Chains A and B, each alone.
Chain A
Amino acid sequence: MNDKKYIIAGLAIFVVLMTFPFWFNLGKAAPPPEVILTPKALAAKECVRPTALMKVEHQQLLDVWRDTVTRDGRRIYVNEQGKQFNMSLSNTCLDCHSNKAEFCDRCHNYASVSPYCWDCHIDNPKENK
C-alpha cells in the first residue's frame, strides 16, 4: 500500500475528467423551443386532435392518414367533435401551419429529427412560391 497517494490522486483525476461534461454543462440546458402559431391556427383554437396529443403523436397520425388515403381511398377525417378534415398534409396541415421555420423546424431541430416530408410536400408560405 505504498502507492496509496498515487492511486487516490489518479482516481480523483479520472473521476473529474469523466464527469467533466456533466458539471461543465450544469445549468446550461437548452431552453425548450417556443413555437409560433399563425393567426389562422390561433383562430382555429384546436387542431385535428387535442393539442397535447398532436404534440406527441402527430407523426403517427400522419402515418395512418397516408396509408388510409392511398390504400383505402378514404380521405375525410372526422374527429371527436364531429368536425371533418381533408386528410392531407399539403392542403390541411400546412394550410394552417404555414410557418414551417417557426413551427415545424423549431421543434424538429430541438429534438434533432429531420423528417423528409418537405422533399415532396410543398412547404408554406404558399403565396410566395
Chain B
Amino acid sequence: MEDSRRNFLKIAGISALGLGASPVLDAFSKEQALQTPQMIQGEKALKATHWGMVIDTRKIHSSEDLNPMIAACNKIHNIPKLETENHEIKWIWGEAYHNAFPEKETNFLNERLEHIVLPVLCNHCEDPPCCRACPTQATFKRESDGVVMMDFHRCIGCRFCMAACPYGARSFNFRDPRPFIKETNLEFPTRMKGVVEKCSFCAERLAEGKLPACVEASNGILIFGDLDDDKSEVRKALRENYTIRRKQNLGTGPSVYYIV
C-alpha cells in the first residue's frame, strides 16, 4: 500500500533523527556539567568601593614609629633587603616632609613636621598614571574596590609605570630577589628578576577579612577604610581633621590622606 510505505518512511526518518540527536544532546549536557564550578568572593572578605588610607602624622614622634609597619609589610610580602640604593625594593617607607610634599615647602615650616619622617606608599590614585603607561595592563585599577593592582605574570619590565608614577612608589627587580629575602613568607610568592612591584593595599589580606599588615602594626598612625562610605573610620578622620594629599595638583587623585 502506498499509504503504509509513506508512514514507514516517516517513522524511519524520525527515528534516525532521534538516534542522531542523542549524542549531540549528551555532549551538550556534559558541556553544561563542566560549567557548574563557580568562582566567588570569600564570605569573610572586607568589602568597599574605594579603599583609602588616612595617615595621622601627629602620632609620629620619631622615625622608629614607622619601623613596625615597614617591617610587617616587608615580612609578609617577601620584600628583599638590597644594599645598593638604586636596587632597593620599597612598598612602604619613610620620607621627610619636604620630599613627600615638595610643592608645599615653606620657609618657616612647623618644627614638628620639619623633624618627623612620614610614611609613604602607593597612593592607589583615582586616576592612576601608571595604569595608562602600562603597555600590557599588568598594572590596572580594580574597578570593584579602587585598588591599583599588579599582575606580576604580565609585567614585561619596561618600567614605563615607574616613569609615570609621580610618587616613586614602584620598584624594579634589577636582580633575583630571592637570595636577599631574610625571612621567607611561604604563603606569598616572591618576585622574579625583571618585574616591577609596589604596595597592593594587601589585597590578599582584605580578601580574608584582615586589614593591611601596615595598618595592623601601625599603632593607630594609619587608618584604613572605605572612602565612599561616610560612616567609615577614614571618612570620620577626614571630617574631623584638615588633611593634605601628595602632589594633588597633578590630578591623580591619591587615596592616601595625611593629617598634618
Chain A residues near B203: list those with CB within 8 A: 73
How far apart are B47's CB and chain A's nearest CB, in angstroms?
A: 10
Q: Name B37's contact: one of A66, A73, A78, A121 (CB within 8 Å).
A: A78
From B38-46, B57-65, B88-96, B230-238, the one touching the partner chain is B38-46
What are the interface flags for B2-38 relative to A under an 8 Å C-beta threshold, 1 for contact and 0 otherwise? 0000000000000000000000000000000100111
Chain A residues near B145: list those with CB within 8 A: 73
Chain B residues near A91: list those with CB within 8 A: 187
Whether B101 sits at the interface, judged by CB under 8 Å, is no
The tally of residues in A whose CB lies under 8 Å from a CB in B reads 27
Q: Name B144's contact: one of A68, A73, A121 (CB within 8 Å).
A: A73
Interface residues on B, range: 20 to 34
Question: Do most interface residues of chain A lie in helix, strand or loop, or is the interface mixed?
Answer: mixed
Chain B residues near A70: list those with CB within 8 A: 149-151
Q: Is the CB of B184 within 8 A of A77?
A: no
In the bound assembly, the distance between CA atoms of A122 and B149 in angstroms comes to: 21
- A-B contacts, 8 of them at CB < 8 A, read A67-B151, A71-B140, A71-B151, A72-B144, A73-B203, A73-B207, A74-B39, A76-B40
A-B contact sample (15 more), CB < 8 A, given A72-B39, A121-B189, A122-B186: A67-B151, A70-B150, A70-B151, A71-B140, A71-B151, A73-B41, A73-B203, A74-B39, A74-B41, A75-B41, A78-B38, A80-B37, A90-B187, A120-B152, A120-B189
Chain B residues at the A interface, C-beta cutoff of 8 Å: 33, 36-42, 45, 140, 142, 144-145, 149-153, 184, 186-192, 203, 207
Chain A residues at the B interface, C-beta cutoff of 8 Å: 49, 64-68, 70-80, 87, 90-91, 116, 119-122, 126, 129
